[in-house]
Chains A and B, each alone.
Chain A
Amino acid sequence: MSWLSIVALAIQTAIGFQGASYALAASGLNLQFGYTGLSNFGHVGFLLVGAYGMGISADRGWSIWAGFALGIGAAIVLGLLLGIPTLRLRGDYLAIVTIAAAEILRLVANARPSEPLTGGSRGIGGLSGRLGFFEPNFIPEGRYGLGDSLVFNSRQLWSMLWTWGLVLLVTLLIRALVRSPFGRVLRSIREDEDAAKALGKNVVVFKLQSFVLGGTIGALAGAFIALDSGAVTPSRWIAPLTFALYTVVILGGAGTVWGPVAGAVVYWFVLDAVDGVLNNLWFDVSDTTSGAVRLALMGIGLMALMVFRPQGILGNKKEMLAGAR
């Protein structure tokens, strides 16, 4: 495999569904963490309920729209359930409770007694067929792209079309939102909650709105991940996925409109390029080891970003460093 094809494959992942779904999920996290300063470390829980909404809907023979409704509804309930008690407290509590809740959801979905609903550890498969996600696909069969490596088939393009389209929509929505008075209140909460409170803003309600909206966007991302892969399995929704989304948000620039998009594309490009290099070394690297190397690099990257360039690619350093506690 040539270096050129490694780069081509990395670009394919970055602009393909992987990049799009991470951009979407990270947009929700960006609203919570980047704009409001909420430390939601259980974002993967929102993705999980979105994905299982689709899975359960497929299992019951309902439509794809019921799947979206179920996932989004569950995300709103989850957001309120976690937000109402913890958003009054200091950020640490939200961090711990969200990460715990996401883990609870995964363990419950994975447990044997939950099998009738979630399919247990095997999860639910064959759902894009049952929900007819690819049926309206008007893109003719074939290979589209450049050269041998940077190609997509019609199904991939269909997933990308929807997910990137939704990313655009959500990003424009967030742009409108953060430029409105509402967005200014969110940022003021991030900078100094007490000051916002002193100005008569009900900060808990603002934080709750941001939290629930961000979670809903996460659920949408989860739903599309389920549709694209055609299956939901509990082992996918683990805490490191949340941490990867944090890396995406910070890489792109927390609290910037296009940060999650830039972050997701760059994140997947780098990760996939590392993978390509690891698979083409003069000695063999097992899949387990290369996966671990990838994640280790992600962790080091996240630390280095936070320390040396907390504003990410698109951010404004002055804005990120304000607010010491």
Chain B
Amino acid sequence: MDLAALVRSPRVLLALVALTVLWPAASASAQDGGGGSGAQAEEAGCAFTKAQAVEANGGPLGSAIWGRLCQVQDGKPTFPEGVAIVVRQGGDEVGRATTGADGVFVVALPGNGTYQVVLDPDTLPKGFALTDEDRATLDAVRVNLGDQQVTFRLGEDTRGKRDFSDYATTVAKGLRLGLILAVAAVGLSLVYGVTGLTNFAHAELVTFGAIVAYAINRAGVPFWITLPLAVAAGALAGTANDRLLWRPLRRRRMALLSMMVVSIGLSTALRNIFQIVFGPDGKRYTAASGQVERSFGPVRLTPNDLAIMGICVVVLVGMTLLLRRTRLGTAIRAVADNPDLASSSGIAVDRIITVVWALCGALAALGGILYGLSLNVKFDMGFLLLLSLFAAVVLGGLGNAYGAVLGAVVIGVVQETSGLLVDTAYKFVVALLVLILVLLVRPQGILGQRERFG
């Protein structure tokens, strides 16, 4: 792709401007994402368990309301001493305790029931404060099993506040998703390029790869060996797709719109067959467990994340070299450009299309396996990815393989980072909205050619 010409194109600039204009608009409606704070306080050592309470109490708790006051100061947990905790029932005081030097309080109770627990804010030592002044009184604390833990949140509210590292990590996770989407989307785009088919059943090629890898992995084969095997199975599946279904339909000169409907039927059938065979629940690879995040500069990633991104980059570079530097790649591009012309210049168009389908199946399978590794394997995982894949392909320009990669990375990063700005429930919505808005400004996609459209 001629990058210089690309940047000069006013349309591209317009699309980028649209994206940047859209972005603050999304943040204006931003909501407090929540989450993160509890984890932060617990990391700092504020977590408290019943075993610790028993130890602090020097014996069984009996019937009691218990807990520990803890505030994170300079990243370290600190405990207020001498804070009065009063337990009432029906307005009458039934128990009272003050926190010890370890911040622990245990209020003995007459038995199970519903109580009101009050923290006296005036007894809090200097430097300690409730996160929410209104939460000094906890109404209707139910004690059903003898004892019950209660929590008073202390210190500044860290909910919704994130540091630079959180942002960087989210962008990295978005990049990971984008690269996976790119690997899965390239095949969709190539098939569209050489046959004109918008293949809804592409989603099931993605799921197929992940499920085959899961089956081999569960049979006891190490995950990193199952990966190439499942990719090969994906290539076979892609070839079978073409030989058994699409090639005969092409020979019949079936309309593309009709083929699209056939692909919907195929997608629905396969997805439900997967559900019957694989079961409705999500499952995980053996390699997916026991992953610990490590810091790489400001970014926190697991070893799997790095492996996923590495594989994707290598495969995408390989695909580019294949398309740019080999005779096969030239032939694929020729067929995509004009099948009749390619045929008349001696290219075996049907064979090229089959090769493209095999590539498509292999890449989709790889994308599915890697997505399954980052999350879990489920019968409808590909179908849930399908709209993001379409968004990526259309964003980059239908039928343009490099465009698909670019579009996928944009969609992946936008999808993940939008969770920082809007409620996570709207994550997918933002990606799809970007798609629709880009189509308004630049219907042929970022790298698409304008003359394809009338």
Contact = CB atoms under 8 A, between A and B. Distances in A.
Contacts of B257: 37, 39, 91
Contacts of B258: 306, 310
Contacts of B391: 96, 100
A9 interface: no
A323 B255 contact: yes
B115 interface: no
Nearest to A121: B425
Contacts of B264: 41, 243, 246, 299, 302
A129 interface: no
A311 to B, nearest CB: 11
Interface stretch (A81-89, A133-141, A218-226): A81-89
Given A37-B257, A107-B429, A288-B280, A85 B272 contact: no
Interface stretch (A70-78, A154-162, A289-297): A289-297
B255 A307 contact: no
A103 B268 contact: no
Contact of A89 (B249, B262, B428, B443): B443
A270 to B, nearest CB: 15
B423 interface: yes
Contacts of A110: 425
Contact of B439 (A85, A99, A299): A85
A239 to B, nearest CB: 8
B31 interface: yes
Contact of B423 (A86, A95, A112, A306): A112
A275 to B, nearest CB: 14
A301 interface: yes
A100 B261 contact: no
A300 interface: yes
Interface in B13-32: 31
A152 interface: no
B440 interface: yes
Contacts of B423: 111-113
A301 B265 contact: yes
A195 interface: no
B275 A250 contact: no
B265 A306 contact: yes
Interface stretch (B147-155, B177-185, B430-438): B430-438
Interface string A88-105: 111111011101110110
Contact of B265 (A93, A96, A101, A300): A300
A197 B410 CA distance: 36
B426 interface: yes
A307 B262 CA distance: 8
Nearest to A37: B257
A90 B399 CA distance: 13
Nearest to A113: B423
Contacts of A250: 261
Interface string B364-377: 00000000000000
Interface residues of A, number: 53
B71 interface: no
B425 A292 contact: no
Interface residues of B, number: 46
Contacts of B433: 104
Contact of A104 (B265, B266, B269, B429): B429
Main secondary structure of the interface of B (DSSP, over half): helix
Contacts of B198: 92, 95-96
B118 interface: no
B225 interface: no
A85 B453 CA distance: 13
Contacts of A302: 261-262, 264-265, 268
Main secondary structure of the interface of A (DSSP, over half): helix
Contacts of A39: 257, 260
Contacts of B268: 240, 243, 295-296, 298-299, 302
Most-contacted residue by chain B among A99, A113, A194, A302 (CB, 10 A): A302
Contact of B276 (A41, A85, A104, A293): A293
B379 to A, nearest CB: 9
B267 interface: yes
Interface in A254-271: none
A104 B422 CA distance: 14
A293 B429 CA distance: 30
A4 interface: no
A306 B262 CA distance: 6
B432 A113 contact: no
B351 interface: no
Most-contacted residue by chain A among B272, B428, B429, B453 (CB, 10 A): B272
A90 B266 CA distance: 23
Interface string B412-453: 000000000001011011001101100110010000000001
B270 A299 contact: yes
B390 interface: yes
A199 interface: no
Interface in B244-266: 249, 253-258, 260-262, 264-266
A303 B453 contact: no
B266 A303 contact: yes
A293 B269 CA distance: 9
Contact of A101 (B249, B398, B436): B436
Going nearest first, the 3 A-B pairs with the smallest beta carbon separation are: A299-B269, A299-B268, A302-B265
Given A100-B436, A194-B454, A303-B269, 6 more contacts: A89-B439, A97-B439, A113-B425, A246-B261, A295-B271, A306-B265
Interface of A: 37, 39, 41, 85-86, 88-93, 95-97, 99-101, 103-104, 107-108, 110-113, 194, 240, 243, 246-247, 250, 288-289, 292-293, 295-307, 310, 321, 323-325
17 contacts: A85-B439, A86-B439, A89-B443, A91-B257, A95-B260, A96-B390, A104-B432, A107-B429, A111-B425, A113-B425, A295-B271, A296-B273, A296-B276, A298-B265, A299-B268, A306-B265, A307-B254
